[in-house]
Amino acid sequence: MLDEAPSFASVANKIGDWRLEKVLQQLASQVEINIHNAKFVPLRAEIRSDVKRLKAETKRFENALKRIPLMELPCTEIDCLPQARQTIKDINALCDMTLSKHSAKGGATKKPGRIICAMIVIEAWAFVRGGPPGANNRIAHEICDDYWRACGYETVGQGHPGNWRRTLTEALSKQSPMRRYIRGEIQHCTE
pTM (predicted TM-score): 0.68
> What stretch of H or E contains 66?
helix 44-67
Between 156 and 9, where is the model more confident? 9
Q: State residue 186's pLDDT score.
A: 92
| Residue ranges covered by each domain of the chain | 8-40+109-189, 44-101
Q: How many residues in the chain? A: 191
Q: 163-190: per-residue pLDDT in tens?
A: 899 999 999 988 889 999 999 999 887 6
Measured distance CA(165)–CA(18) in Å, rounded: 25
Q: 127-143: per-residue pLDDT in tens?
A: 999 999 999 999 999 99
